[in-house]
Amino acid sequence: MQFVAALLNIDKTLQVPVYQQIANGIICHIRQGTLKPASALPSSRTLAAGLKVHRNTVVAAYDELYAQSWVDVYPQKGIFVAANLPEVAPRPLAKNQQVLTYPEKTHFDVRDKRLGSINLFTPGTGYTIAFNEGFPDTRLAPVELMLREYRRFASYQFTSQYLLYGPEQGSENLRIELARFLGETRGLNVKPGHVLITKGAQMAIYLAAQLLLTKADTVIAADPGYCGANEVFTQTGANLELVPVDEFGICLDAVEAVCKKKKVKIVYVIPHHHQPTTVTLCSERRMRLLELAARYGFAIIEDDYDYDFHYTSSPILPLASADYYGSVIYIGSFCKTIAPGIRIGFMVAPSNLIQQATRMRRIIDRQGEHLLEEAMANLLKNGDITRHLKKANKLYHERRDLLCSLLTQQLGEHVSFKMPDGGFAIWMKYLNGLKPKDVAEKAAAMGLAISSGKDYYYDRSHEHHHIRIGFASMNLKEMEQATEILTRAVKKLI
C-alpha cells in the first residue's frame, strides 16, 4: 500500500483542488491497471503522510472515489479498489503522469483519407495584414442591434419558450420575415413553408446533395468553382462533371453536351459574382438553364451567397424568381450580409423538398439557435437589415473602386482584372510570368497574407495565374498598406 503515494503527483499551484488531484490520480491508475480490483489502499492517515497533505484532504479524495463507485469501504478493514471493476492489463505511464495522454489515433479504422481538406484561403495569424478571399467587414456588423434584440428577449416573460426545442424548419417568425424580404429584394413569391433555416449556405448545399444524390449520380459544376460545394458532391459518391466559365458565366453548351450523354441529377451554379471569378450569369443563359432543367429533369442548386451586394446596377433577379417548373433549390446566407460568425443560412424550394430537407437536417442538427433566429426576424421586420445593407453597399462600393485604382496605379503593368459589378473580391491575373505561389511567399516574408492561387480549380495541379483578392473587409489605410506590400513583393520578382 505504501507505493500508492509514490504513484501520485500533487501540484498545489494548480487550480484543481488537491483532493481532486488525488482522486483523479487514483482513478487513472485503476484504469491503467496499476491498481487492481479489490486491492487495498492506504489509510487516509498513511497516504496523507506520504503525500505531505492534511488528512482531511485525503478523506475528501476517498469520499469522492466512493461517491463515484471506484472504491469499496469495509468497516474495521479499510478501503479497497472496487471489486466489481474489470481487471486491466497494466499499461505504464510516463514519469509523474497522473492523467492518460489522449491518443492521437483511433484503435479502429476511420478511413483517414476518405475526406480531403477544403482549402479555402483564410489568412492565419502572424501577418501584419491580409488580403482575404472576400469577406464582409465584421466591424460594420450590427452587433449592437443584435444585442438590443437579445436584451429585449431577456425582459419578456415568455422568453423561456425560446430556450426549449423549437421548430426544426426554423423560427416561424424568421421564415415569415425572410419570405417577405426575399419577395421584396429578389422577386421570390414564396411562403414560410417554402423556407428552411440552416446554419449557413454550406449546410443547405449538404442537405440538398444528401437528399438528391446517390453513388455514381452525375453533378455538373463550374471549373474554376467553389471547392466547398465540390467536396460535398464527391463525398456522396457522385461523379463530378466540370464545365468552363467565361465572362458570361457557366457555359451552357458544355452543360447540354453532358446532359445528352448522361443522366444529370444536379447543376450547381453561382449566378451572381461566381466564386472565384466574380462574373455574373447573363440573362440569356439564365433563361436557357431553366429550360434545360425542365427538358432534362435535373435540379438547379442556385447558390446566391452575396446577392445583396451590387454596385453598378440593380442585380439580375435569381433563377428561382422565374422557376415555373420547380427546378431550383435557392440557397443564401446572412453570413455575408452581417458576419461569417452569424450562422444563419436558408434554403428555398418547393414544399415536398423542404419537408425532406427538414427531416434530414434533424438527423445532423435538431434545430438552429432559436434566440438568434428570433433576433434576426426582428431585425428584418424593423428594417434594420435593409438599412445595414444600404450602408454596407455604399462603403464596399467605395472600397472596390479604391482597390481597383491602387492596383492600376501601382501594378498596372504586372496584373490585369475586370472591375466586378458586385460582391467582395476581385479576380486578378498576374502577368509577365509571375506565379501566384511565388508572389504569396514573397509577400508573406514582408507580413502580407495573400492567396497562392492553388485551390480554385478542381485539379490542383492546374497551372494558372489568377488569384482572388477581397476588398470589403479593409479600410482605406489597411488597403493602402496591403497594396504597397504586394507591389514591393511583385517588383522583387520581376
CATH of 141-383, one of 3.40.50.300, 3.40.50.150, 3.40.640.10, 1.10.10.10: 3.40.640.10
Residue 1 has a pLDDT of 56
Report the CATH fold assignment for 3-81: Arc Repressor Mutant, subunit A (1.10.10)
In this prediction the pTM is 0.84
Question: Cα-flanking dihedrals φ and ψ of residue 252, to 5°?
Answer: -80, -20
Residue 340 has a pLDDT of 82
99 pLDDT above the threshold of 60: no
Over residues 35-65, the pLDDT tens digits come to 899 999 999 999 999 999 999 999 999 999 9
Q: Quote the mean pLDDT of the chain.
A: 89
Over residues 440-480, the pLDDT tens digits come to 999 999 999 999 988 899 887 778 899 999 999 999 999 99
In the chain the first and final C-alpha atoms are separated, in Å, by 75
402 pLDDT above the threshold of 70: yes
**420: preceding bond cis by omega (within 30 degrees):** no
399 pLDDT above the threshold of 70: yes
Instruction: Pick the closest to residue 390 from 201, 142, 224 (CA basis).
Output: 142
Residue 350's Cβ-count burial label (10 Å; 0-12, 13-18, 19+) is: middle
Residue 488's Cβ-count burial label (10 Å; 0-12, 13-18, 19+) is: middle
Over residues 264-300, the pLDDT tens digits come to 999 999 999 999 999 999 999 999 999 999 999 999 9
Question: Cα-flanking dihedrals φ and ψ of residue 41, to 5°?
Answer: -110, 155
165 pLDDT above the threshold of 80: no
229 pLDDT above the threshold of 90: yes
Report the CATH fold assignment for 129-137+387-493: Aspartate Aminotransferase, domain 1 (3.90.1150)
Q: What residue segments make up the domains of the chain, in order of their start? A: 3-81, 129-137+387-493, 141-383
Tallying the residues shown for the chain, one arrives at: 494
Amino acid in the structure at residue 283: S
Over residues 104-129, the pLDDT tens digits come to 777 777 776 666 666 666 676 677 89
Residue 7 has a pLDDT of 84
Residue 98 has a pLDDT of 55
Residue 89's Cβ-count burial label (10 Å; 0-12, 13-18, 19+) is: exposed
Q: Report residue 95's pLDDT band, with 50, 70 and 90 as the boundaries.
A: low
